[in-house]
Amino acid sequence: MKLSEVIEYNLKKFKELGLDNPLQEIRYIILETIGISLEDQIFKKELVINKSQILKLEEIFEERKKRKPLSKIFKKVYFRDIILSVNEHTFSPRIDTEVLIDVLIQQKINFKNILELGTGTGAISISLLNHYKTAKSVVTDISKEAIYIAKKNAIFNKTNNRMHYICCDWLSCFKNLNFDILISNPPYIIRSEIKNLEVEVNKYDPLISLDGGYDGLAAYRKILGSIKAIGKKNLLVLFEIGFNQASQVADIMNEYGLEKIQVFNDYCNLPRCILGKV
């Protein structure tokens, strides 16, 4: 069978399902499943694939048609310049989050000691340590399965010797915060809206990674409350936020005494992260 026929058939199916980037997803599936490069997929119009390749592809296309996200099908994600393992216990890192790392690099914000709360797969810290070669990071999560994956990813990406892992509820196990910067992409979806999210999210990302309480802001209040109690002067705080939460989170940061608050947009030009100083 010609590869172009397989692409055409599944493109129609993916479009019927309303997937956002159907052709991009199909090309990714072909590359990851049977190793045919994007160049060959595009330029070798007559390329024929064999029965075993067709069967392998069909299996993956079927999974995707059931709305399982590619990250959970292939159990991995490309995040900036690193590759991360994901599984059913971890939030799949999103491209939106990459902007947190880029903001720190572009603002020439320098630091040696990072504290990351709710690390999930370790995406933010591993990516930062990959850039800041002498920095260290303490990473936390309430999920021990997430901590396990973060450590596995750190070993794979060679940042493990500069990372320390703690399983705990936000800042409950810290007596002081001797860090230069605290970073977090906490759960920020309004609880009552979780059921309306795409199946890819509400079925395949752990509920604990999404649930931001009745107004989506519970984690910011909890973390900032603890920072007020034990944070040291000049500690930088960087949060990812929902695109419509900037003013609410800025208000909470103000309320808890943070200063010099700045909001940064992501690559779709939507407010995506907020920086402040204790």
Nearer to ligand SAM, 49 or 142 (CB): 142
Site for ligand SAM in 126-145 (CB under 6 A): 140-143
- The strand pair at 82-85 and 76-79 is best described as antiparallel
Check: CB of residue 4 under 8 Å from CB of residue 49.
no
| Of the candidate residues 10, 119, 137, 160, the single one contacting ligand SAM (CB under 6 A) | 119
| Of the candidate residues 25, 29, 61, 93, the single one contacting ligand SAM (CB under 6 A) | 93
CB of 112 to ligand SAM, least distance (A): 20
157 contributes a contact to ligand SAM by CB under 6 A? no
Q: Which stretch binds ligand SAM (CB under 6 A): 3-11, 36-44, 155-163, 184-192?
A: 184-192
Nearer to ligand SAM, 93 or 231 (CB): 93
CA angle in degrees (0–180, nearest 5) for 19-126-157:
95
276 contributes a contact to ligand SAM by CB under 6 A? no
97 contributes a contact to ligand SAM by CB under 6 A? yes
| Of the candidate residues 22, 69, 120, 276, the single one contacting ligand SAM (CB under 6 A) | 120
**Helices in the chain by DSSP H: which ranges?**
3-17, 22-34, 38-43, 51-65, 70-74, 98-106, 123-131, 144-156, 199-202, 218-230, 246-255
187 contributes a contact to ligand SAM by CB under 6 A? yes
The residue count for the chain: 278
| Of the candidate residues 57, 82, 128, 146, the single one contacting ligand SAM (CB under 6 A) | 146
Taking residues 16 to 55 in sequence order and writing x for each that binds ligand SAM by CB under 6 A, - otherwise, the string is: ----------------------------------------
Site for ligand SAM in 205-234 (CB under 6 A): 208-209
170 contributes a contact to ligand SAM by CB under 6 A? yes
Q: Is 30 exposed, middle or buried (0-12, 13-18, 19+ CB in 10 A)?
A: buried
- The strand pair at 136-141 and 76-79 is best described as unpaired
Check: CB of residue 14 under 8 Å from CB of residue 22.
yes
242 contributes a contact to ligand SAM by CB under 6 A? no
118 contributes a contact to ligand SAM by CB under 6 A? yes
CB contact set of 86 (below 8 Å; sequence gap of 6+): 71, 72, 75, 76, 77, 92, 93, 121, 149
DSSP state of 211: B
Check: CB of residue 127 under 8 Å from CB of residue 82.
yes
Nearer to ligand SAM, 22 or 231 (CB): 231
SS3 264: strand
| Contact footprint for ligand SAM (CB under 6 A) | 91, 93, 97, 117-121, 123-124, 140-143, 146, 169-170, 185-187, 208-209
